Amino acid sequence: MKNKIFFRRAIIAASFACLLFPLNSCDKELEVTPYSYFTTNNFFSNVDEANMATLGVYEAMSSMDSYGWNISLIFDADTDIMQMSGTGADDWRTIAHYQGISQTNTFYTVWSKLYEGIDRANVVIEKVPQMALFTDGSQNQKDQLNKFLGEAKFLRGFYYSELVRLWGDVPFKTKSSQSGDDLKGGLIDRQEIYTQIIKDMQEASLLLPDATPTDERINKWGAKSMLARVALFAGGYSLGADGTMKRPANYKEYYKLAQQQINDVMAQNPYKLNPSYSKVFKNQCQHVLEPTENIFQVAFYNPSGALGNASWVGNFNGPATANGFYPSNIARCLVPKPFYSSFNTADQRRDFSIATYSINAKGNKVPLLTARQDESWTVAKWSREYQTNATAERVYTHINWVVMRYSDLLLMRAEVENELNEGPNTIAYDAINQVRRRGFGADIQGSQIAININNAGTGYTGPANVLIQITGGGGSDASAAVVTLNNGAIGTIAMLRSGDGYTSVPTVTITSVDGKGSGATATARLVTKPTSTAINLPSGLNKNDFFKALQQERAWELSGEGMRRADLIRWGVLAEKITETNTAVKAIRSNYFYPAIINFVAGKNELYPFPQNETDVNKSITRQNPKY
């Protein structure tokens, strides 16, 4: 089980932040008591207190206001691979459907939370070097304090990188807030901010430990990996104040920086892919730390089942689940059918990532394969099936949000090599093919399965009343369900998940839930794994074709993990992908739900509006983002 970085004392210490409103107030002037006031008087007299203050920097992202819901889930929709359900005035719908405006409160909530983390980081960065122990303490004390300083620098850079990603040019401050300060900063060009972000992360990597972490705190290799991502965003497309999408003229310099950081990490080999794609997310749901797969993650802690430092991961973004055998799930993160259809059928990521079913009160899967049910398919990686389902997690969970996995770093490596070499080299091919091989289950023993009906039986009253159970065979996750009946006999069935790891043929049992109907039998068969030639990308691709394959691979590998919308923006193709997806869903049916095509405005929705609560008070922000 994971060793939480948050515990009761840490949360109490971090709670000082509720008294902090950096760079802004609400809709009127407020007297601000800055974080530095409390930490100056009560902290930094010893290592433990410095540690508490540093945990306060982490705590800013362990909230529903930031990565427990808004940034991780809401801000990643609507795209070609995920969208929010329904329409309405809820912030989580209006933002996802490109209807958010400057008065939308969630924008201000996220904005404030990120600046809160920055101000906390500024305090630690200033105060730790002033501690007597920083220069005169034991070597262990000095090492600890340098680690805290590195963490604060990394997190300040990370929080600023998120602000720039979401809003472009933003107020910029590297000094902690003091009583009487003018907290109303003007907009600073994003490239200038990126310069400081890169500096912070580079300095952080020199201070952070090399050792594999035993909790969710950042280490040297995590900082370098995240710096590589920041460099790709700094060199990518973004919406300028003039309303045009553009990238810096020297964008390749940022790609070279990314390449350098990735090469440094790869030379040390601190990470590896879990051979089983499904196990990665089962571990997350069970709170099992996997620092060799998950490079950087946000810790959540929710011992009482209340809001606290909790998240909605596994509730908001899982298969629709009726309360009963499992806790209920509200299933708001929908997957457009064309994305499901884009997978190779042998790719194990498809059926694990996308739920083409709901889960009833008995814990059984109910297929969603008729009429317009394909419009209610959802993200599936964090299903209630895999969670602890403890009392404290029936509403809010404490499943960590993983910001970067190792496969993400491998795919960034492939992208960087392709860009800098004007086409893919052996490094690029090896990186992307490692991800593909894992996705197809090439490195785990056993196979997927399929099921054939031998006897259709008689007297069954409805598809939902016929339960297909799969047991044995050494594998896991395979499931099938009846889709249609033919005069009381089984008509068609569907493999909802083909599973993986089956080393022998499992047993298939068909039973009647309501006691009506009998006689149906079925057998399973092992599905032959695709060859390496079929799994790997074809050799000889040019730069553009490899790049398109890379874009698609990131979708298959990282779907629902918070990066798709950001990737499409930095590639300059968000508008294009929305149009393509609309064409694809309308080919299924003319009224297929896809509101993004109606609401998205190119040259506007690539950035969010500056929150009005901020601009009402901070008159140094003299413009709004384009078209708002």
Mean pLDDT check: name the lowest of 83-87, 97-101, 388-392, 433-437: 388-392
Cα 439 to Cα 349: distance, rounded to the nearest angstrom: 6
516 and 599 belong to one structural domain: no
Residues 111 and 250 in one domain: yes
pLDDT greater than 70 at residue 179:
no
Confidence of residue 38 (pLDDT cuts 50, 70, 90): low
State the average pLDDT over residues 128-149: 97
Q: Is the dihedral of CA 495, 446, 317, 565 positive or negative?
A: negative
The yes-or-no verdict on residue 234 having pLDDT over 80 is yes
For 311-357, write each residue's pLDDT tens digit.
999 999 999 999 999 999 999 999 999 999 999 999 999 999 999 99
Structural domain contains residue 617: yes
Is the distance from CB of 151 to CB of 57 less than 8 angstroms? Answer: yes
Asked, for residue 191, whether it belongs to a domain, the answer is: yes
SS3 592: coil
Express as a percent the part of the chain with pLDDT over 90: 89
What length is written for the chain?
628
In the predicted structure, residue 28 carries a pLDDT above the cut 60: no
Instruction: Supply the pLDDT for residue 403.
Output: 98
Please give the Cα distance from 172 to 183 (Å, whole number).
Answer: 10
Enumerate helices (H) and strands (E) in the chain, giving the number of each.
Answer: 21, 18
Which neighbouring-strand residues pair with 357? 367
116 and 260 share a domain? yes
| pLDDT confidence of residue 450 | 97
pLDDT at 183: 59
Q: How many CB atoms lie within 10 A of CB 101?
A: 13
Band of residue 545 on the pLDDT scale cut at 50, 70, 90: very high
pLDDT, the chain, mean:
93
Assess if residue 351 is contained within a domain: no
CA 243, distance to chain mean position in Å, is 28
Range 498-523 average pLDDT? 97
Sign of the CA dihedral running 124, 127, 131, 134:
positive
Domain assignment present for 504: yes
Residues 468 and 608 in one domain: no
> 605 and 463: one domain?
no
The answer to whether residues 526 and 608 belong to one domain is: no
Provide the token pair at 541.
Answer: 């691709």
Instruction: Give the Cα separation of 27 and 153 in Å (integer).
Output: 31
| 226 and 138 fall within a common domain | yes
Helix, strand, or coil (residue 434)? helix
User: 72 with 144, same domain?
Assistant: yes
- Is 310 part of any domain? no
Q: What is the β-pairing status of strands 354-355 and 401-405?
A: unpaired
Average pLDDT, integer, range 364-383: 97
Would the pLDDT of 222 be above 90? Answer: yes
Domain count of the fold of the chain: 2
Distance CA 606, CA 167 (A): 9
More confident residue, 527 or 2: 527
Please give the average per-residue pLDDT across 107-126, as a whole number. Answer: 97
Q: Render the burial of 148-161: b for 16+ CB within 10 Å, e for the rest.
A: bbbbbbbbbbbbbb
Domain region containing 504: 448-534
CB neighbourhood size of 463 (10 A): 19
Q: 263: how many CB neighbours lie within 10 A of its CB?
A: 14
Give mean pLDDT, residues 129-133. Answer: 96
Give pLDDT tens digits for 64-75. Answer: 999 999 999 999
Per-residue pLDDT at 41: 63
- In this structure, the answer to whether residues 566 and 609 fall within a common structural domain is yes
Structure confidence at residue 33 (pLDDT): 44
- Tell me the CB-side half-sphere exposure of residue 478, using CA atoms within 13 A: 30
pLDDT at 509 over 90: yes
Cα separation of 361 and 176, whole Å?
Answer: 51
The mean pLDDT value for 361-370 works out to 96
Q: Per-residue pLDDT for 604 more than 50?
A: yes
Name the DSSP letter for residue 538.
P
Q: What is the pLDDT of residue 31?
A: 36
Q: Pull the structure tokens for residue 570.
A: 């930095």
Residues 510 and 570 in one domain: no
What average pLDDT does the segment 294-318 reach?
Answer: 87
Q: Whole-angstrom Cα distance, residue 547 to residue 409?
A: 15
Percent of the chain with pLDDT over 70: 92
Residue 118 is predicted with a pLDDT of: 97
504 and 622 housed in the same domain: no
The verdict on residue 468 lying in a domain is yes
Instruction: Summarize pLDDT for 415-461 with one digit per residue, the tens.
Output: 999 999 999 999 999 999 999 999 999 999 999 999 999 999 999 99
Residue 186 has pLDDT above 70, yes or no: yes
pLDDT at 301: 82
Assign residue 124 the CATH number of its domain: 1.25.40.390
pTM: 0.94
- Specify the 3-state DSSP secondary structure of 199: helix
Do 110 and 210 fall within a single domain?
yes
Is residue 16 over pLDDT 50? no
Whether residue 509 is contained in a domain is answered as yes
Query: pLDDT-derived band of residue 152, with 50, 70 and 90 as boundaries?
Result: very high
Query: Does 551 map to a domain?
Result: no
222-238 average pLDDT score = 98
* Model confidence at 99: pLDDT above 90: yes
Paired tokens of 117: 């983390």
Mean pLDDT, rounded, for 580-601: 98
pLDDT in tens, 570-582: 999 999 999 999 9
Residue with tokens 């995590």: 222
pLDDT at 232: 98
CA distance 15 to 7: 12
